[in-house]
Amino acid sequence: MINYGKQNINQDDIDAVVDVLKSDFLTQGPKVPEFEDALKKYCNVGYVKVVSNATAALHLAYLAIGLKPGDLVWTSPNTFVSTANAAIFCGANVDFVDIDPRTYNISIECLREKLIHAKRNNQLPKIVAPVHFAGQSCEMKDIWELSQEYGFSIVEDASHALGGEYLQEKVGNCEFSDIAVFSFHPVKMITTGEGGAIATNSKELDAKIDLLRSHGITKDEKKFFNEADGKWYYEQQALGFNYRLTEIQAALGISQLKRLDSFVSKRQEIASFYSNNLPESIVPFQHPDTSSSWHLFVIQTDNRKEVFQKLLDHGIQTQVHYIPVNSQPYYARESLKNSKYFYEKCLSLPIFFDLTNEEREKVVKTFFDD
């Protein structure tokens, strides 16, 4: 079976994990800050904190910005449910902005129209969370300009987009956002098994995230409210969570990050092959301001069920990304035209580092077999 996505683990990864297993620290040791520093340098951003998964990253990002019960978060319906769920965890309300029919990302036109209407009704969002679907960045400069006019904060859900670029800069540099979050799930650009990261240029936001990811506890005597009883002393200063990443995961992440550019390059090569050998009408559009990391290669086909089954019969796994969040029974919001149309036709083809030339050729050939 050719999977739609798969991690690449080499001997260096294994050795890095074994070294930690033989060390004194399995959690809260030196590898976590080392991984954070490596991500910070890669994304050219001021601060990075790693956490247990991307859902935790979104939750902490929203809390750090100050999201509270009754506030409103807007996001794309074309995402995994965690982008919206993390706002619900904060007691906030969620609404959805339709997607651009070309990029499958949040539509700038729809966002602008929704903001105009929301301002008239005094229902502006506290946070807008654009999602970089499939690895292609949203049009962040336009979103940032709207944030300056309408007063909302921006959390980039960049779970798909580590290694991608926008305006020739790495996704995650936060030039046009308050925070960006990444995922290290096995099918993402690099993996730590499970894991996530939160990037920001704000020292204040980073400090809040650092506190909240570990039970709201600090051991930094410079931040204590009370005088320390001794070197064992710590203080819980907020109601936080156990969202820490382990040393084992961080070691794997450090090793994986060294190969990120080669991972992206291979995915770009596969995407180019598909684009050049499949009908132009079904392949995804790429905005000229972006360079996708190609977490996913998503086609649109009028007969998805038949194509899905045909590929499966030939030993090729595909997937659907995503069922629109607004259509899920839990949310049950009104249908959005572009998102609904996209969902009815979308299908993700296999794309991952170890996909061979023979396998990608088989994928294309199957489209043209009777």
Give the pLDDT of residue 2: 97
Give the pLDDT of residue 368: 84
Together in a domain, 72 and 146: yes
Q: With a cut of 90, say whether residue 345 has pLDDT above it.
A: yes
0.95 exceeded by pTM: yes
| Last residue in a domain, options 202, 230, 257 | 257
What element of type H or E holds 117? helix 108-120
| Last residue in a domain, options 225, 257, 289 | 257
Together in a domain, 338 and 269: yes
Whole-number average pLDDT of the chain: 97
Q: What is the mean pLDDT of residues 223-246?
A: 96
In this structure, is residue 2 part of a structural domain? no
- Residues 92-111 pLDDT 10s: 999 999 999 999 999 999 99
- What are the tokens at 164? 């991608």
Give dist(CA 139, CA 59) in Å, integer: 23
Name the band, by pLDDT with cuts 50, 70 and 90, for residue 252.
Answer: very high
Q: With a cut of 90, say whether residue 26 has pLDDT above it.
A: yes
What percent of the chain has pLDDT above 90? Answer: 99
Together in a domain, 56 and 198: yes
In this structure, is residue 3 part of a structural domain? no
Give the pLDDT of residue 369: 81
Together in a domain, 181 and 115: yes
DSSP 301-327: -TTHHHHHHHHHHTTB--B-----GGG
CB 176 within 8 A of CB 143: yes
Give me the residue label for tokens 């400069």.
141
The interaxial angle of helices 357-368 and 260-277, nearest 10 deg, is 30
Please list the residues that pair with 169 across neighbouring strands.
166
Q: What is the mean pLDDT of residues 142-148?
A: 98
Give the pLDDT of residue 66: 98
- Range(s) of the domain holding residue 27: 11-257
Give the pLDDT of residue 35: 98
- Residues 353-365 pLDDT 10s: 999 999 999 999 9
Note if the bond before 166 is cis, omega within 30 degrees.
Answer: no
CATH number for position 322: 3.90.1150.10
Q: Is 2 helix (H, G, I), strand (E, B) or coil?
A: strand
Q: What is the mean pLDDT of residues 286-304?
A: 97
Q: With a cut of 80, say whether residue 370 has pLDDT above it.
A: no
In this structure, is residue 46 part of a structural domain? yes
Give the pLDDT of residue 95: 98
